[in-house]
Amino acid sequence: MPPFRRLSTADLPACLVLAADRSWDADSLRWHLMLQIADVWGLDAPDGGLAACGFLTRYHPAYATIGLLVVRRDHGRRGLATRLMAHLHDGGTEDITCLFATPMGRPLYRKLGYLAVDQIHKYIGPLEVASPPDGHLAEATPGDLDTLVSLDAAATGLDRRHLLTALFGRADRRLLLSHNGQYSGYGLAVPGSPRTPTVIGPLVAPDALAARMLIAGLAKDRTHAVRIDVFARHGDLPSWLQAGGMTHVSTDPMMLRGAASLPGDRRRLIAIASQALG
């Protein structure tokens, strides 16, 4: 079998065909972003197109997220995903890798030593909630990027400037939250391709009540559906989202290999950028 090949944005059409083969969301703007910021590896199928792909996003020399692992149906159950995961891990036994596992992926990840350490709830739909009170939210400008990066670093223990710069540029709303004159959180709303929901995330806040303010500000006056992936640990946030009209789509485990927990004050990370990026 030919070796895995590094993919680029030129492979976007083939990636979308592969995603559609598994009935996966083929939001071309989001896949394009991933191809720009992640290390993407794929395998060409002998009859054309891609047989498999997998994305690795490195945030630190010893920490990465893995996502969008897909094997074409007619190439399934032949060990391809197992080999691709070994390639993504690159033999680096010291590395910590994190991923959000679909039901199909879980048996594979468990075999590879991943352990579930948290859970994420995915919600999609219109969100109609009371407007946030005045005085706590401010529109972030490009000059505030350093503030976002440091709020994010406090929550994740990582410098995610590369990711945040890319998402900031694509966001249609970027909010900073302040308490007593100090910034304590931020949130981005990032649109995808037409007819796909705008994603609210990443979102960092000191607690669930503060998170609600940011979410309400990011969702305000939208006529289309939004999507948010929130950690299960945040009390009544799920019921608040549902009361606002959103639908619970799935709950998936966050799985970790190489460590039992992640750095940073993770309680502050309310919503992720995407299941592929963390």
Ligand X SMILES: CC(C)(COP(=O)(O)OP(=O)(O)OC[C@H]1O[C@@H](n2cnc3c(N)ncnc32)[C@H](O)[C@@H]1OP(=O)(O)O)[C@@H](O)C(=O)NCCC(=O)NCCS
Q: Report the interface residues with ligand X, using CB under 6 A.
A: 22, 69-71, 76-82, 101-102, 104-105, 107-108, 111
Residue 167 near residue 38, CB atoms below 8 Å: no
Among residues 70 and 228, whose Cβ is nearest to ligand X?
70
Q: Is 245 left (phi over 0), alpha (psi -120 to 50) or beta?
A: left
- CA–chain centroid gap for 137, Å, is 23
Among residues 111 and 179, whose Cβ is nearest to ligand X?
111
Among residues 53 and 177, whose Cβ is nearest to ligand X?
53
Among residues 88 and 208, whose Cβ is nearest to ligand X?
88
Residue 136 near residue 181, CB atoms below 8 Å: no
| Token pair for 168 | 């900031």
What is residue 259's three-state secondary structure? coil
Name the minimum Å distance from CB 181 to ligand X.
Answer: 42
Name the minimum Å distance from CB 78 to ligand X.
Answer: 5
Name the minimum Å distance from CB 71 to ligand X.
Answer: 4
190: nearest Cα among 164, 210, 157, 154 = 164
Name the minimum Å distance from CB 83 to ligand X.
Answer: 7
268: nearest Cα among 163, 198, 183 = 183
Name the minimum Å distance from CB 167 to ligand X.
Answer: 21
Residue 163 near residue 273, CB atoms below 8 Å: yes
Among residues 4 and 240, whose Cβ is nearest to ligand X?
4
H or E segment to which residue 15 belongs: helix 12-21
Among residues 111 and 224, whose Cβ is nearest to ligand X?
111
H or E segment to which residue 241 belongs: helix 237-243
3-state SS of 187-238? EEEECCCCCCCEEEEEEECCCHHHHHHHHHHHHCCCCCCEEEEEECCCCCHH
Name the minimum Å distance from CB 13 to ligand X.
Answer: 18
Name the minimum Å distance from CB 16 to ligand X.
Answer: 14
Q: How far apart (Å, rounded) are the C-alpha atoms in residues 154 and 151?
A: 5
175: nearest Cα among 136, 207, 143 = 136
Among residues 103 and 181, whose Cβ is nearest to ligand X?
103
| Token pair for 96 | 């910590």
